[in-house]
Structure 1
Amino acid sequence: MRATALFACLLALTSTSTASADDTARGVVFLDANNNGARDADEQPLQGIKVSNGRQIVKTDQAGRYELPVTDDTILFVIKPRGYRTPLSEQMVPRFYYIHKPNGSPKNYQFAGVEPTGPLPESVDFPLYKQDEPERFQALMFGDPQPRTQEEVDWISHDVIEELIGTEAKFGVTLGDIMFDDLNLFDSSNSAIAVLGIPWYNVIGNHDLNHEAHEDHLSDETFERHFGPPYYSFDYGAVHFIVLDDVEWRLNEAGQGGYRGGLGEDQLAFVERDLELIPDDQLVVLMMHIPVTKIQTPERLRLYRLIEQRPFCMSIAGHEHFHEHRFLKQADGWNGPQPHHHVVNVTVCGNWWGGMQDERGIPHATMGDGAPNGYSIMTFDGHEYQLEFRAAGRPADYQMNVDAPEEFRASDGADIVVNVFNGSEKSTVEMQVGPAGGEGQEWTKLAHTPMRDPDYVRMAGREDQVKDSLTKSASEQSLVFNPDNRNLYSTHIWKGRLPAGLAPGTHCVRIRTTDMHGMVHHGYRLVRVVE
């Protein structure tokens, strides 16, 4: 059930009178049998439920009670256990927290933060509701939707949301850069995603901050107004998910704001305590915005020390505007017995909504690695997981681009380059060549060859020639092709050679790829062989 107006702002708080000024929050976690968001006398308290103040975590006692210290800038939150859900807003945003900011957020920010919450209530209570959570389930992963304007929010709706209506996923996650600096668009974006009818969690990104802030902890104020704590955790099925805030806002010597990858002492303390309460045999998934390899070194290594001995752990981020699987090893500062799988996820906005527009008026937004804009579908089953790449506005089986010349001489042969969008160093890619509609040669392996995607390079060159005449969008095509990504080496490219000696005529090049999870995909390219 979605949260009603009765408790949408309070986020599941029951208050009878103000508590004494001892800076200790007290409350009860309970089963909300009548779905009214308030604790009634006959409703069952829940024992053993974890509640946090962003640093410490405690479990409720037999009466469902907890106690935690608070300051005048604390967000209390319940860590959703398996088999339960928290209240949801009308926009399907989980409401699992209570914000305690007696004086509210700073008032001089362009984008509104949290209104003053007043004195600490006598009891800060959290309702939960039972739900079935299967061992096997799917979740959606959005990297960087990053709209600058309402027009770009509409592009997200038409390019991605509409095709996901009726999804079997149990929840979704935006991996940061929900916005492109205009935080007034949070409501519009949330409303569009809410059409999917599933809970939607959010990670804070560097474009989701209040840039007027002079301190990191104040840069999250508008995000907190809409989504609650910038870091937290929850269980679904057999999986434990940890959402990290790895964007550290800071001022340079000239007083200018900027960001870097960072975690902070309180967050690391929370993660350490959180993991202490998670069995070693449970799959842990860390979700963040900036890739873990870009977190400043001391904090990155501390995070590695917390997770590297766990046999079942992976992580996923956004930020980079390309799609890549990384396997962290000793050279990366990782000391675990097995490499750590870290995914840099495809972005919804691709290359920041750049490029020629299609018949719908939406830019193709191809990323610098040659992969299309899109999203991922993750399937979890106990300790196992797999990630499927989905290109926006394309069939599910569109998984690669095969680049080869239209024609070549029979005596010469020709190069072939295959961009497997979800490929990694653990993928295999094979080629078979034969007459169109006929039997082909034996399957031969292609060589994994990280390089610039030649098809992307040609496309960028064509757009350079006509970019001044492109229809201007709300973004003014300022990032038709981001200069930093124009020279990007794609890590998911394979290269081979079409053999010489083929008979003249049209031939079908068949590509077969098998990924690290054993999923098989096929692609095709027709070429002409001439005398």
Structure 2
Amino acid sequence: MKKLFTLLTVLSLSCALLCISGCEDSGDTVYVDEGRLVSDVVIDTSMEVFEGMTISIEGQGFESGDRMLLRAETDIEMETEVSASDALAFTLPEEIEDGHTYKFVLVRGDDYQVLGASTLTVKLVINVDLGGTISASWEGPAVIRGEGFRATDVLVLSQGDDSWEITPSEVDDLSLTFIVPAGVAEGESSFTLRRGTESQELGTADLFLSTSAVVPDKEGMTIKGIVHANGRGIADVLVSDGDLITRTDENGFYWLASEKRNALAFVILPSGYDVPTSKAMPQFWKPCTLDASTCEQLDFKLIPTQNDNHTMLVATDMHLANRNTPLDYVQFGDGFVKEITTTYNAAAGKVYMLNLGDFSWDLYWYSNKWALPECKAAIADFNFQVWSVMGNHDNDPYVANDFGAEVPYRQYMGPVYYAMNIGQIHYIMLDDTEYTNDGGSQGVIGDREYNRRFDAKQLAWLREELKYVDNKSTPIVVGAHCPLYNYSSINNVTTAVTNVSEVLSCFDGFTDVTFVTGHTHVNRNIQSPSFSNVYEQNVAAVCGTWWWTDQYAGINVCTDGSPAGYKIFTVNGTDFKWQYKGVGLPVERQFMTYDMNEVKSYWATNEKAQQAFDSGNLPNRRNDYSSVGDNEVYINVWAYEPGWDITVTENDRELEVSKVWKRDPLHTISYDIPRGVSNSLTFPSTYCPHMFSVTASSENSTLEISVTDRFGNVYSESMTRPKELDTSF
């Protein structure tokens, strides 16, 4: 006789009496208890399952001989085992169809009982847990947790355009074990399971790999490891902890008697190799996780590469802080990131980037919940390595000493000073900000002040590191945040870092040393007045004027009138050339022209300018160009440096070009004036050392302007006058 049972929706999975190996908690269950065949049974209304999966149901009153049917359009009868009166187990057959809703029907002789209904999602495997990271060794075993794996499955491991098909070495009820191929790199990896014609994406995880080599301990050594390519040791590679430097032996082994002051170790990349990359971050360093008295093994993987010819992008002062209108990271993504990824992610040659600091903005770390991890995420789509130094704004504002304030940087970005050989260029990244931050304490932001200097421990490390550069003609590029030098007037150079001579004397004997720096948000190129082998390129900011001018004028412009941008270094062997590139502008745009008749008229008649001048927020700015004569033209050559040539002709007559010490009109009308109407001025236009003047014979003549850089590139403009002053490039 058939019986009717009522289905009641009750209980949560936490009190579920149906035990399904590996099912997910749907939070929606059906409970039946009519006191007939069985009672106290709970069925999830949806389950993830796999073919051949054994399901165990708990309840009260099961008997030997009970059968289980899955009822949809047709009944599916399954092999059933009753091990006790409170449990029944059955195995899902191959006929199970994905997405169908089945009634679970218990049959005993002529009676039956509907225990519940569930929608089944059929997968190859369920409950896969990659754990976020997989730690293993090359050609060693690694484990993926999950249920339903088969020995005949194929695991596909993918990294970018590369993939490996791997036959599992072992499977059991709860895991799959595979051998990591020798050619796999550390970093983010995707995993897919293939079974015949079917496949299932398992997810992504970061691979942290070491070699199977065991580096023997040595007395007094606290860090050891191997530097290798595909698991084979490489001799004569330098490894450092930021205090000590050592070489690997013939096996690629190294040892350091480290005090672990910096809580990390890093490899000094040798020529002819690269390091793995994870979301644009070069994997050249590893953190120490044990105490200073305990020896730990930190291994480094290198990748043989041909990078003698490469492109090095130099960018600085991104100042991402989750602020401004539009939000800074939105401007950053829509402008700089979009341009860089479009141009360089699929570039044919090797591409790298130097990030010269102020990646973040310490003032907003805690209030806006935007610090170094969020900044890293903003460039994760770069398909090349970004090598970084820290700026003054990359320190923890809750800490009132330099070393302590650097801890988050070392945690998320790596060492604050280090070196690497990329091709035939020796790059050194240094830290020249000493963060004092008076008043800072946990939960309290200090004054965020700092000194511009290189500390003694860093200089000692630098002197030691340079001993390993055998060829003194090797081109050296040094990245740092704060500039070595400033202009105090049109031709007067002053030092900006207190111990410039101390750091530059480290490079005695080297013939070609280029410093690339940021911090100022302007373009300046300065030959060291005291060290003939040192040339500094101070690069303007990616953020322009701290992301303000897009709100006021629809453009991103720096305080010297340069467009927000970066430098492109094109390296061929030991020879390199460079150009400044404004974001959103063609590289052929290298200067801006101003018809000063129109500029002076704007200063005298523009309504907003008058409001700003009358506000008191721009003292004496009404007189910016009062000394400028009639028919003068200004030419702001953003990246001008010694060796450039500027020629201007009017009706085939060459005009005399002179350098002037003036503010840039475009920045003034894009920031100073609109902000000065109602606010005090925090980032005013600066006097720039790359402004030039000519005087035309009339107010409406056309000038032919030609600028030739030191590498022979010619940039030109036919300037039709009068030329209106507006907020555009």
Aligned pair 1:343/2:537, yes or no? yes
- Aligned partner of residue 456 in structure 1, secondary structure: helix
Listed as ranges, the matches of 1:450-461 within 5 Å are: 450-460=661-671
Task: Answer with 369-378 or 177-186: which moved more.
Answer: 177-186
- Aligned partner of residue 549 in structure 2, secondary structure: coil
Give the equivalent residue in structure 2 for 1:418.
635
Deviations 1:328-357 (A, max 9, x none): 11xxxx2x3x26210111100011111253
- Checking the alignment, whether the CA contact within 8 Å between 1:12 and 1:87 is kept in structure 2 is no
- Aligned partner of residue 450 in structure 2, secondary structure: strand
**Deviation of the 1:308 alpha carbon:** 4.2
**Deviation of the 1:519 alpha carbon:** 2.5
**Deviation of the 1:456 alpha carbon:** 3.5
Distance 1:9 1:371 in 2: 42
Q: Which residue, out of 274, 279, 282, partners 2:465?
A: 274
Give the equivalent residue in structure 1 for 2:389.
203
Alignment-mate amino acid for residue 428 of structure 1: D
Deviations 1:365-405 (A, max 9, x none): 32111111111111223333222111112222221110115
Distance 1:387 1:99 in 2: 35
Give the equivalent residue in structure 1 for 2:549.
355
Deviations 1:196-220 (A, max 9, x none): 3011111101111112223321111
Give the equivalent residue in structure 2 for 1:238.
424
Give the equivalent residue in structure 1 for 2:321.
148
Distance 2:649 2:420 in 1: 46
Q: Which residue, out of 701, 704, 719, partners 1:525?
A: 719
Q: Which residue, out of 337, 343, 361, partners 1:166?
A: 343
- Checking the alignment, whether the CA contact within 8 Å between 2:187 and 2:208 is kept in structure 1 is no
**Bigger proportion of residues as strand:** 2
Give the equivalent residue in structure 2 for 1:427.
644
Distance 1:319 1:286 in 2: 15
Aligned pair 1:3/2:186, yes or no? yes
Listed as ranges, the matches of 1:53-202 within 5 Å are: 53-73=241-261, 74-89=263-278, 91-102=279-290, 120=294, 122-134=296-308, 136-149=309-322, 151-164=327-340, 165-167=342-344, 168=347, 170-181=351-362, 182-183=364-365, 184-202=370-388
Deviations 1:451-480 (A, max 9, x none): 222443355464247x55xxxxxxxxx89x
Distance 1:27 1:68 in 2: 9
Distance 1:119 1:8 in 2: 29
- Checking the alignment, whether the CA contact within 8 Å between 1:153 and 1:188 is kept in structure 2 is no
Deviations 1:16-74 (A, max 9, x none): 79969945322111112xxxxxxxxxx32101111111122211111111111212433
Gaps of at least 5 residues in structure 2 are 1-158, 160-184, 190-204, 486-494, 600-628, 724-729
Measured at CA, do residues 9 and 461 of structure 1 come closer, stay the same or move farther in structure 2, by a change above 3 Å? same
Distance 1:499 1:11 in 2: 71
**Deviation of the 1:12 alpha carbon:** 5.8
* Corresponding residue pairs, total: 467
Q: Which residue, out of 280, 286, 289, partners 2:481?
A: 289
Give the equivalent residue in structure 2 for 1:27.
225
Give the equivalent residue in structure 1 for 2:687.
489
Distance 1:26 1:407 in 2: 68
The percentage of aligned residue pairs carrying the same residue is 21
**Deviation of the 1:523 alpha carbon:** 2.5
**Deviation of the 1:250 alpha carbon:** 2.1
Give the equivalent residue in structure 1 for 2:612.
none
Distance 2:547 2:554 in 1: 6
Give the equivalent residue in structure 2 for 1:108.
none
Distance 1:204 1:254 in 2: 19
Alignment-mate amino acid for residue 172 of structure 1: M
Give the equivalent residue in structure 1 for 2:505.
305
Give the equivalent residue in structure 1 for 2:76.
none
- Checking the alignment, whether the CA contact within 8 Å between 1:78 and 1:96 is kept in structure 2 is yes
- Checking the alignment, whether the CA contact within 8 Å between 1:413 and 1:499 is kept in structure 2 is no
**Deviation of the 1:102 alpha carbon:** 3.6
- Checking the alignment, whether the CA contact within 8 Å between 1:15 and 1:124 is kept in structure 2 is no
Distance 2:384 2:675 in 1: 41
- Checking the alignment, whether the CA contact within 8 Å between 1:241 and 1:284 is kept in structure 2 is yes
Deviations 1:73-98 (A, max 9, x none): 33211011112111222x12011112
Distance 1:54 1:490 in 2: 38
Give the equivalent residue in structure 2 for 1:51.
239
- Checking the alignment, whether the CA contact within 8 Å between 2:475 and 2:513 is kept in structure 1 is yes
Distance 1:10 1:303 in 2: 37
Deviations 1:233-285 (A, max 9, x none): 10111100000011112255999552111222221122111111112011000
Distance 2:596 2:496 in 1: 42
Distance 2:270 2:239 in 1: 11
Gaps of at least 5 residues in structure 1 are 33-42, 104-117, 435-440, 469-477
Alignment-mate amino acid for residue 83 of structure 1: G
- Aligned partner of residue 194 in structure 1, secondary structure: coil
Give the equivalent residue in structure 2 for 1:449.
660
- Checking the alignment, whether the CA contact within 8 Å between 1:19 and 1:120 is kept in structure 2 is no
Listed as ranges, the matches of 1:372-387 within 5 Å are: 372-387=563-578
Give the equivalent residue in structure 2 for 1:498.
696
Distance 2:387 2:251 in 1: 29
Distance 2:211 2:242 in 1: 18
Distance 1:196 1:523 in 2: 34
**Deviation of the 1:305 alpha carbon:** 0.7
Distance 2:211 2:457 in 1: 24
Distance 1:230 1:11 in 2: 24
**Deviation of the 1:426 alpha carbon:** 3.4
Distance 1:317 1:373 in 2: 15
Q: Which residue, out of 526, 530, 547, partners 1:326?
A: 526
- Checking the alignment, whether the CA contact within 8 Å between 2:480 and 2:516 is kept in structure 1 is yes
Measured at CA, do residues 407 and 160 of structure 1 come closer, stay the same or move farther in structure 2, by a change above 3 Å? closer
- Checking the alignment, whether the CA contact within 8 Å between 1:60 and 1:66 is kept in structure 2 is yes
Q: Larger C-alpha radius of gyration, 1 or 2?
A: 2
Aligned pair 1:225/2:414, yes or no? no
Alignment-mate amino acid for residue 198 of structure 1: F
Alignment-mate amino acid for residue 219 of structure 1: A
- Checking the alignment, whether the CA contact within 8 Å between 1:12 and 1:96 is kept in structure 2 is no
Distance 2:496 2:208 in 1: 34
- Aligned partner of residue 492 in structure 1, secondary structure: strand
Deviations 1:401-455 (A, max 9, x none): 10115789xxx96101000111124322111224xxxxxx144441122322244
Distance 2:360 2:328 in 1: 10
Give the equivalent residue in structure 2 for 1:250.
436
Give the equivalent residue in structure 1 for 2:42.
none
Calculate the aligned-residue CA RMSD, in Å: 3.1
Distance 1:398 1:196 in 2: 25
- Aligned partner of residue 705 in structure 2, secondary structure: strand
Measured at CA, do residues 380 and 123 of structure 1 come closer, stay the same or move farther in structure 2, by a change above 3 Å? same
Measured at CA, do residues 121 and 69 of structure 1 come closer, stay the same or move farther in structure 2, by a change above 3 Å? closer
**Deviation of the 1:317 alpha carbon:** 0.6
Distance 2:210 2:536 in 1: 35
Distance 2:206 2:414 in 1: 12
TM-score by length of structure 2 reads 0.59
- Aligned partner of residue 463 in structure 1, secondary structure: helix
Measured at CA, do residues 102 and 490 of structure 1 come closer, stay the same or move farther in structure 2, by a change above 3 Å? same
